Amino acid sequence: MKLDQPERFQVEASSYGTTEEVCPAASLIYFDFPARAGMAPVRITWYEGGLMPPRPAELEAGRSRGDNGILFIGTKGAILGEGWGRSPRLIPETKMQAYRRPPKTLPRVAGHHRNWLDACKGRGRPSTPFDYAGPLTEFVLMGNVALRSGKKLDFEWKTLRIANIPEANQFLKPNYREGRSL
């Protein structure tokens, strides 16, 4: 989807049960990415704490969507997967039955912990190296910044700054106690 470090993206969040000391009991976060490389803008929505998207129209009556997982909605259909992205399936099931899988081209790993340890020992590359995992982590953590600020944020990736709400930048780096630093 080519979402890696656009010049700018927006993030907006709402939550229930948040305090300065604890994470929310439930939250809803929107990540809005601009058009890029000939692709249309995209919105990623994070539901948490029991909040869920509307039931997809493509999902057959009587079929469970589970209590957690991942839902991709595209222009040609929808894919529903269990928690951690396991067992992704086209919906409705008739589309899944008609689908012909492409040949496997990506290397398979024996689990992300084993893959990481093997890469540390010089046995191959990690399946999610820092140049991929770092920007992904930055983008997801911006949801926390939006939760803490309570505002819709315009994040500039090149400068690692929030352009429209300067006071929200205080959440980007830790404030250390006097005499402490990293």
Task: Classify residue 36 by its DSSP letter.
Answer: B
pLDDT of residue 97: 96
Q: Say yes or no to pLDDT of 6 above 80.
A: no
pLDDT of residue 132: 84
Task: Classify residue 143 by its DSSP letter.
Answer: H
Between CA 72 and CA 42 the distance in angstroms is: 11
What pLDDT, in 10s, does the model give residues 110-148?
Answer: 888 999 999 999 999 898 888 888 888 888 899 999 999
How long is the chain? 182
Report helix, strand and coil shares of the chain as percent, to nearest 5: 25, 25, 50
Contacts of 125-133 with C-beta under 8 Å, sequence gap 24+, read 132/4
Mean pLDDT of the region 40-51:
91
pTM here is 0.83
- How crowded is residue 42: how many other Cβ atoms within 10 Å of its Cβ? 16
Instruction: Using alpha carbons, list the distances in angstroms from residue 132 to 4, 10, 30.
Output: 8, 20, 21
pLDDT of residue 116: 92
User: What are the tokens at 138?
Assistant: 């930055």
Average pLDDT for the chain = 89
